[in-house]
Amino acid sequence: MAKDTAKHPAAHVGVGAQYDTTHVYVAPEDVEKFVASFLATFGGQSTKQVVATVTPTPSSTTSQLLQTPVGTVSLFGFKTPIPYPFGAERTGYLVTDMDEAIKQARAAGADVVVATFPDPIGRDAVIQWPGGINMQLYWHTTKPSYAAFETVPENRVYVSPERADALARAFVRFSHGKIVSDESKAAGVEIGRPNDTYRRIRIESAFGKMTVLVTDGHLPYPYGREMTGYEVANLKDTLAKATGAGAKVLVEPFTSDRRQSAMVQFPGGYVAEIHAAAK
């Protein structure tokens, strides 16, 4: 793979982690509650809410960005049924050139499950990585400019042992990233199984951080339901803000891999992992 890359260097299509969002879908009646709770927990602000068609076939949703110092959410409150396969894509990644990004994604081993289509402010496509990981790519007609994060969130993906290596190879090739750790016997407490171990791969690139959790799928709730891990300065303080703003702690804090972690569910159902460096 390294030799192929050297012979045919491809342009970096990633822009920066602050342009990558977690896609959160909630019922329209939960939108305001989710916004209030999420921003009270992490700080930041929301862009103005608009009603738009963000799919290639007819639909209608409220749409807004929640921009916090520790991660960004693209929030959708669909007023119509959600066209397939939307709702299954976990993240939206900004690219410098949509056609080049699609070409590179295919070359790296991704499947294009929704071909490029226009939206009100640019172009989008949905791709799928080995292991069934869906991701939206987007490009804006007017180049956005967002402040860098204080801490970079992690995209948390769960895959089977059979597809983990293929996913890691494909995503590293596409993102021009690197595997920063590959732990074959990570502590099972991280997936709700304190008596077991599992494999954990951490990847970093221009698109931010990705943590690949390689499991047999025997996962107690809510593990596997969380899409993003948010790094905060003080976990206890953040959880107090979250619960004070209507969120529920689903997994109480525990320490592993030099971090304190917990799982939280926000109004509307969105589940997030939140962590801080262990002291």
Q: What percent of the chain has pLDDT over 90?
A: 95
pTM, 2 dp: 0.94
Residue 104 in this model has a pLDDT that exceeds 60: yes
| Contact (CB, 8 A) for 204 and 177 | yes
Long-range contacts of 231-235 (CB under 8 A, 24+ apart): 231/70, 231/151, 231/152, 231/153, 231/154, 231/275, 231/276, 231/277, 232/42, 232/70, 232/151, 232/274, 232/275, 232/276, 233/276, 234/276, 235/260, 235/261, 235/262, 235/274, 235/275, 235/276
Looking at residue 6, its pLDDT comes to 44
Looking at residue 9, its pLDDT comes to 60
Looking at residue 10, its pLDDT comes to 74
Average pLDDT over residues 174-178: 97
Residue 92 in this model has a pLDDT that exceeds 70: yes
Residue 7 in this model has a pLDDT that exceeds 50: no
